[in-house]
Structure 1
Amino acid sequence: MTERRTYSYLGPAGTFTEAALDQVPEARGHVWKPVHNVGEALADVLSGASDAAMIAIENSIDGGVSTTQDALANNPGLRIVGEYLVRVNFVLVAQPGAKLEDVRVVAAHPVAYAQCHSWLEEHLPEHAHVPAASNVASALGLLDGSLPADAAIAAPGIVQHQELEVLAEQIGDNDNAVTRFVLVSRTTAPGEPTGADKTSLIVELPDDRPGALLEMLEQFSTRGINLSLIESRPIGDELGRYRFVLDADGHIHDERMADALLGIRRFSPRVVFLGSYPRADRRIVQYPERYADEIFVEARDWLRGLIAGEPDED
């Protein structure tokens, strides 16, 4: 009999995070535990209360999710084991019988609010914003009176679970908006490379000096590795000190990636390896032939031969 596993996610039922978790085949039929925030989800994983947690890490409109990035930087012992994409759009909901012209205060998760900003400015230019813990929480807070709001921004699926009036549909500013989620477990060995992989890191600069950021980026560019995400976050100990959240195309088992990680480790006082995992889009990583694995292997063998005193070969 298969042992039941537990997966934490930003709840309650009906959130985009739950939709991301629904994309994980191995999670189906197991325990899904709703939590209130990213910190609680990762604490579940670290304590063993959950086997893994689904958390939002980036969206195509607002960039990286800073709370997630900071939590991953400050909680050692975690690994990203997969990523999942969820298309995002929103509805504006209210108590039954309400009308759009009556709305003065809108409850919304900050990320959702940012993605609907243009629509709100056009249709509710004098509104105020009340932050909510999640898209579902904004609607539930409206219903139970715990949030002082007249309407809420939520995922379209909320009306399948709650009795709400839909005041407006498709209120997102970008029809192509996508949120990227990652499944996080305790530290584990990376899976085998698929050819369509991504490696995530957090890297601190050694000091604040001209060229320090360039030197970090060169560790990847000189090995033919594309960076699909580069975001800075303050370390927090003093002004001018930053860490960088990086997504690099490729897998730690690739010779070029392994070589780049060695360079980064020599360069940076602190490197957090978040994991190598399959890309959500399954797009095969392309790179110039001069950075193929066998080129790195041949160069390493050549150096070993020189050290061993073997004769040069033309």
Structure 2
Amino acid sequence: DALIKWSVYVNYSVEYRISLCLVVNEGIESLDEITEVYSHPHAISEAMDFVARLKASIIYTQSTSEALEKIRGARNRAAIASRLGAETRGLKPIMCGIEDRPNYTRFLVITRRRSDIGDRTLLIFSVPNRPGSLYKALKPFAERGINLSMIYSKPNKQSPWGYDFLLETECQLKDEKCNEAIQQLQQETTYLKTLGSYKHIKIT
């Protein structure tokens, strides 16, 4: 909603790998000593295979930071959190990389000036609520061989059954075929905002 409301644009996209650790107090050497595991539900779900093997009780917290505070001084307790979070609190990451599969989160660097150069372009648009409208909106990109790396929908506050779509394309605004596709997209939309082109960086 903020991207729609304010005159801001995307300058960089950073994809960062999140590695989860099993965190304990100093002096714990064996996983057999752990009877309780604390963490946020999302972190637990991302490491469920590992947690199940511990045969410990799962206790949910509001955040991974809270989980780290809950285990302080308790030999039988462990938390699932980041290495940095553990080490800044004087706790011990006994095992890291315990997530079931590689997990990434993305950050967008926002500026007030739009860029036309980069390897990706971000768009927000709405289409009429009728059959085939989304297909018609995306067709211009397929016809020009432009890959869509992400599409995300959210309810539109202006219309009870309408949706806004956040679309990331693998093209830059300075390219003619990218602009042609966006111009055709605009003909099929009730709202369109171009959030600029940017470089996508992946940190593992």
Structure 2 length as normaliser, TM-score? Answer: 0.79
Q: Residue 59 of structure 2 aligns to which amino acid in structure 1?
A: A
Which residue of 61, 65, 90 maps to 1:163?
A: 90
Count of residues paired in the alignment = 196
Please tell me whether residue 233 in structure 1 is matched to residue 159 in structure 2.
no
Q: 1:124 to 1:229 in 2, by over 3 A?
A: farther
> Who is 1:199 aligned against?
121
Q: Residue 7 of structure 2 aligns to which amino acid in structure 1?
A: G
> Who is 1:190 aligned against?
115
Q: Deviations over 1:274-309 (max 9, x none)?
A: 22012326xxxxxxxxxxxxxxxxxxxxxxxxxxxx
- Paired with 2:2 and 2:41, the residues of 1 have a C-alpha distance of 18
| 8 A contact 2:122–2:194 mirrored in 1 | yes
Quote the offset at 1:212 in angstroms.
1.2
Map 1:16-35 to 2 at 5 A: none
> Who is 1:216 aligned against?
137
Q: Residue 108 of structure 2 aligns to which amino acid in structure 1?
A: V
Which residue of 46, 51, 60 maps to 1:120?
A: 51
Quote the offset at 1:142 in angstroms.
3.2
More strand by share: 2
> Who is 1:108 aligned against?
40
Which ranges in structure 1 are unaligned for 5 or more consecutive residues?
1-69, 145-149, 282-314
- Paired with 2:137 and 2:109, the residues of 1 have a C-alpha distance of 27
Quote the offset at 1:239 in angstroms.
5.3
Q: Point out which structure has higher relative CO (alpha carbons under 8 A, 6+ apart).
A: 2
Quote the offset at 1:90 in angstroms.
0.8
Quote the offset at 1:115 in angstroms.
2.3
> Who is 1:46 aligned against?
none
Map 1:1-314 to 2 at 5 A: 70-73=1-4, 75-96=5-26, 101-103=34-36, 106-108=38-40, 110=42, 112-124=43-55, 126-132=57-63, 135=64, 137-138=65-66, 141-142=69-70, 150-174=77-101, 176-185=102-111, 187-191=112-116, 193=117, 197-207=119-129, 209-236=130-157, 240-280=161-201
- Paired with 2:125 and 2:174, the residues of 1 have a C-alpha distance of 19
Q: 1:125 to 1:94 in 2, by over 3 A?
A: closer
- Paired with 2:192 and 2:89, the residues of 1 have a C-alpha distance of 45
**SS of residue matched to 2:141:** helix
- Paired with 1:80 and 1:114, the residues of 2 have a C-alpha distance of 31
Q: Residue 243 of structure 1 aligns to which amino acid in structure 2?
A: D
Quote the offset at 1:235 in angstroms.
2.2
Q: Which moved more, 1:82-91 or 1:233-242?
A: 233-242
Which ranges in structure 2 are unaligned for 5 or more consecutive residues?
none
Q: Residue 103 of structure 1 aligns to which amino acid in structure 2?
A: E
